[in-house]
Amino acid sequence: MKYKGLAFLFVLFVSHWTIGQELNCTVTVNADRMTDVNPQIFRNLEKQVSEFLNNTKWTNLEYQQQEKIACNFFINVSEFKNNNMAATIQVQSSRAVFNSTYASPILNINDKDFNFRYLEFEQLVFDQNSFNSNLTSVLAFYANIIIGLDMDSFAENGGSKYLEIASNIMNVAQSSGFKGWTQAEGNNNNRYFLISDILSNTFAPYRKALYEYHFKGLDVMSEDLQKGKENVMLAITILSDIHKVRPNSFVMRTFFDAKTDEVVSIFSGGPRVDVVKLSETLNRISPLNSVKWNRIR
């Protein structure tokens, strides 16, 4: 009986210790092009990245298993030489919708400047106030973006603390020499612009729209589908404020890269709402998706 009691206490301690990690992340490393490299290296990278993302405690909050944020990291390796990898990384996250089994996509971004040094079995160490490696800095940057945007979807500007951490990671990494962290790279769609835009007052409607779309829109659909759809329409109208000052902005493209198919699905059935103005707004602020918007009736 004594030993059973000790075993129970041990299990209880372990269960408590594992509560708190915020991400439920699936990591995939694709290195099919690396035919002259031991594939075990990439399997070990996949395992280490998964453990780093899922086992790091990113916040001071306690997340139950069902509260963890579902996300995917797809790493596509194009070159590996002298322990240096050239790759891209696609990051996706979704958010559970209240009183349903549906997960709504929030982030779907493809980062093409993901180069890093990788020594097999070397511990992945991260400190937000110092630059240890581009691998951990990029992973931590997106982990905090995911958490921050997820919190924004539950409370207006609720994820500010973690978005600020992502911004700090970007600032610290700027002197590293790795691409993707600075303003002066000849494009406006890297990590610098992603977090700068999200935190900018100019793009404040993006964060407000996340809250209106999810908490006041999707989350109420189980009780009042029509009201939920109307609030999703309102969120899209809020987004149009960005288009007035920054047409075709990176943050707007980021929103619709995640949401286009979902928006079409929401307005393709169920209680009828007036979608004429909605379709006009969508075609104006996201013209690249006009073929899909034309399916809204």
Q: What is the pLDDT of residues 187-224, one digit of tens each?
A: 789 999 999 999 999 999 999 999 999 999 999 999 99
Q: What is the DSSP letter of 221?
A: T
Listed in sequence order, the DSSP H helices in the chain are: 2-18, 40-55, 134-152, 160-173, 191-199, 204-214, 225-245, 250-266, 276-285, 290-293
The reply to whether 65 and 176 lie within a common domain is yes
Number of structural domains, the chain? 2
pLDDT of residue 26: 98
Question: Cα–Cα–Cα angle for 76, 43, 176, nearest 5°?
Answer: 55
- Mean pLDDT, rounded, of the chain: 91
The reply to whether 185 and 276 lie within a common domain is no
| pLDDT cut 90: percent of the chain above it | 83
pLDDT tens digits along 3-19: 333 333 333 333 333 44
The span from the CA of 44 to the CA of 52, in Å, is 12
Domain boundary among 168, 199, 230: 199
The reply to whether 148 and 41 lie within a common domain is yes
Reported for 122-131, long-range contacts at CB under 8 A and 24+ positions apart, including other chains, are 124/48, 124/49, 124/52, 126/52, 126/56, 128/165, 128/168, 128/169, 128/172, 129/168, 129/172, 130/172, 131/172, 131/173, 131/175, 131/176
The reply to whether 228 and 269 lie within a common domain is yes
Q: Which domain holds residue 99?
A: 19-199
Length of the chain (residues): 297
The reply to whether 185 and 66 lie within a common domain is yes
Domain boundary among 163, 184, 199: 199
pLDDT tens digits along 261-295: 999 999 988 888 888 999 999 999 999 999 999 99
The reply to whether 134 and 230 lie within a common domain is no
Shortest CA distance to 250 belongs to which of 283, 279, 282, 286? 286
pTM: predicted TM-score of the whole model, two decimal places: 0.91
The span from the CA of 256 to the CA of 32, in Å, is 30
Which carries the bigger pLDDT value, residue 33 or residue 105? Answer: 105
- Residue 3 inside a domain? The answer is no
Strands 23-30, 69-81: pairing kind:
parallel
The span from the CA of 218 to the CA of 105, in Å, is 12
Q: Report residue 260 as tokens.
A: 């286009």
The reply to whether 74 and 153 lie within a common domain is yes
Contacts of 243 (CB under 8 A, 6+ apart): 249, 252, 284, 285
pLDDT of residue 133: 96
The span from the CA of 233 to the CA of 187, in Å, is 31
pLDDT of residue 31: 94
Give the Å distances, CA to CA, from 71 to 92, 138, 261. 5, 15, 18
The span from the CA of 62 to the CA of 245, in Å, is 39
Average pLDDT over residues 17-40: 86
